[in-house]
A and B are shown apart, each in its own frame.
Chain A
Amino acid sequence: MIRSHDDLRSLYRAMLALGAAGLLILVLGLAVFLRFAPLGQRTGLAARVTGVYAYDPGRRTITGPPRARFPRTQPFAARVRWAALPGGMAVGATWYDSLQEPAGGVGPAPAARLSAGDGLVPERIPPGLHGNLPGTYTLLVLRYADGRPVEILARTTVVVERGP
């Protein structure tokens, strides 16, 4: 039997209480995760990004062959084959810059309406800047339900080069 004149029980109980509070927070986090990423949302559909091209924002056209790298000052746009998706499906596409901030996109709208256009998803130079941020840009093609994105249908990346 340990002779003890110390009140370590209160410390032990305080730690257990903190652990229980922590567990509650993590369970709450799991609930949030499942609320916004519920199981059974996958349709198995996939969109097709045919390429990423240099883009002329004034004329709203692409030029040259598809590329994987762009200079900072060169705007670019992806071309998506929206026609391959069910026409009534709500879809959209968003570019994310190297800081994972949204950097332009289209939709959400029915796939049929987007396929009636040019199918281009241009990125947008961040306001106040002269060029794109260097690093990896990611395009996500998303399916929407109840106004919220619920499934990734396609993903592609390009690199914006460092430089003037």
Chain B
Amino acid sequence: MIEQAAYKRRWRPTRYWLAALIGGALFGVLVASSALSIALDSVPHRASLFGLPAIGLMAVATVFGLRAFRDRKPGVRGRDLMVAAVLFGLGICSWLLVLDVFTFTQAAGPGAAALSALACLPTTAFGLLVVRRLDRNEKEPWRLVLVAAVWGAIVATSLVIWAEALWDEQLGARLVPGPALDASSAFSAGVFEELAKGVAVVLLYLAMRDEFDDVVDGIVYGAAVGFGYNFMESITYMTHLYAVYRPESASLALASAAGQWYQRQVLGLFLGHATYTALVGAGVGVARQLPRLPQRLLAIASGFVVAIAAHFAWDAWAQFFPVSPTSPLAVAEIHLRILVMVGPFTAALLLILAMGLRVEGAALTRQLELEAEAGSGAVLPAEVPVLISPWRRLGVRVAAMARGGPVAYSRLARLQTAQIHLAMERWHRERQETDTPPAAEEALRRQVLELRAATAL
């Protein structure tokens, strides 16, 4: 209902065209990457067999797309186009997943790859849960958080593999081992990986504006992309080391893979890709609320630059803090190294997050108070102190459950969410940073009143 209210207009603003342009360019890069995979024979032919479901999804997407262009009714056409786009996206992702699995894990075999994935799944899910909870006022929808994570795991990894390989071939191969080669590889990783991950946040900012409110949302989406990327990268390193050491001994292979898991899924879960891409998200999130285009571009560029720098610093200068495996302090040194090198960037990100939460909290309080004063009934004066406190919101929901069971809990949760959506809409409208028609706000208000009526039953 909220989406319908927000997108009543049939025309689409410029940002959709910009998003489509970026999407089209990325699709071109992915097709080229796929063609190169086949040309260089790095993907076994059995990948084609496992890619059949992807081809099937593409075929069904084409049918829906053609039907959409044939149908004259705008409602039906819009629905068909949406189905076609979703199926097309699923097809792309499943094909890239096939490529990723074979490219990254074929040496270790499907068993080791599946076990590595299973080991990384709970930690990645934990990271996503924690980061989503950071947005204590208006949590991002799971579907978008998961789309961001899937982008990081599948699309971003596919985008960087050829870029980094070409960079290594053109520049890395001419450099002698040492600091210059380390710096070159770190520039490659920082620039290509952060661009490939960050473009997901930019696309969400352009295409899903109603679910991308401010710097807090940017940090959540950015971190989600980072968790996804970290998930696939962890599997890659775990399976690679397992494959390298397996002929020597199974225990050595398992220990190597477990070491990678600990470094990347425990130590580096938050202090790594999640931090880097969340910095991109912070820049995009700040830009979301800036009035002038040059300011927005500067904020987005700042996010990308600091993310690339953080990634670069870790990759290039980690060897300045060497860890001797035979040292009795090796374990402490490994932990200290990541804390010293990535910790400052994570601390800066948390500072930005705290500032964002403070601004968001103050704005919501004000808008809820104004809505209550207006007397529409969507927000009552007594509800304002409850709605601005996550703990008090939870408290009244639990009290409702005690009285009316899970249904009452769920109804009240929906009402609270809609009330906060309304306050957010008011905030963006007051700042003139929304392109939705004024009717959207009234539709949200009506929705709140309907939910209130349902809650009272």
> Which A residues contact B (CB, under 8 angstroms)?
2-8, 10-12, 14-16, 18-26, 29-30, 32-33, 35-37, 72, 94, 96, 98-100, 129-131, 133-135, 140, 142, 148-152, 155, 162-164
Contact = CB atoms under 8 A, between A and B. Distances in A.
Interface of B: 107, 173-180, 183-184, 186-187, 215, 243-245, 247-248, 279, 282-283, 286, 289-291, 295, 298-299, 301-303, 305-310, 312-313, 316, 348, 351-352, 355-356, 359, 362-363, 366, 430-433
4 closest Cβ contacts across the A-B interface? Answer: A19-B302, A22-B309, A37-B180, A22-B306
A20 B179 CA distance: 24
Contact of B178 (A36, A134, A163): A36
A129 B138 CA distance: 55
The binding surface of chain B is classed by DSSP as helix
A21 to B, nearest CB: 7
A5 B180 CA distance: 49
Given A12-B299, A131-B247, A131-B248, 20 more contacts: A5-B363, A12-B286, A14-B355, A15-B303, A18-B279, A18-B302, A19-B298, A22-B306, A22-B310, A23-B309, A24-B309, A25-B313, A33-B179, A37-B175, A72-B247, A129-B248, A134-B243, A134-B244, A149-B178, A152-B174
Given A2-B291, A149-B178, A11 B305 contact: no
Contacts of A162: 107, 243, 247
Given A8-B289, A8-B290, A15 B248 contact: no
B305 A12 contact: no
Contacts of A23: 305, 309
Given A134-B243, A140-B176, A19 B305 contact: yes
Given A2-B432, A148-B178, A149-B178, A22 B302 contact: yes
B298 A16 contact: yes
Contacts of A135: 244
26 contacts: A2-B431, A6-B289, A8-B359, A15-B282, A15-B299, A15-B302, A18-B303, A19-B302, A19-B303, A21-B309, A23-B309, A25-B310, A26-B305, A29-B186, A29-B316, A35-B179, A36-B178, A72-B247, A98-B244, A99-B244, A131-B248, A134-B243, A142-B176, A149-B176, A151-B176, A164-B247
Given A15-B283, A18-B348, A163 B247 contact: yes
Contacts of B283: 15, 19
A18 B278 CA distance: 13
A96 B178 CA distance: 13
A113 B127 CA distance: 58
A91 B173 CA distance: 18
B64 to A, nearest CB: 41
Given A11-B215, A11-B352, A134-B243, A29 B359 contact: no
B367 to A, nearest CB: 10
A164 to B, nearest CB: 7
A32 B176 contact: no
A25 B176 contact: no
Contacts of A72: 247
B406 to A, nearest CB: 37
A37 B352 CA distance: 37
A131 B244 CA distance: 11
A159 to B, nearest CB: 12
Contacts of A29: 183, 186-187, 312-313, 316
Nearest to B191: A26
B431 A11 contact: no
Given A25-B313, A96-B177, A33 B183 contact: yes
A161 to B, nearest CB: 9
Nearest to B256: A99
A72 B245 CA distance: 11
A152 B301 CA distance: 36
B308 A36 contact: no
B44 to A, nearest CB: 15
A107 B239 CA distance: 35
A11 B348 contact: no
A77 B245 CA distance: 22
A19 B247 contact: no
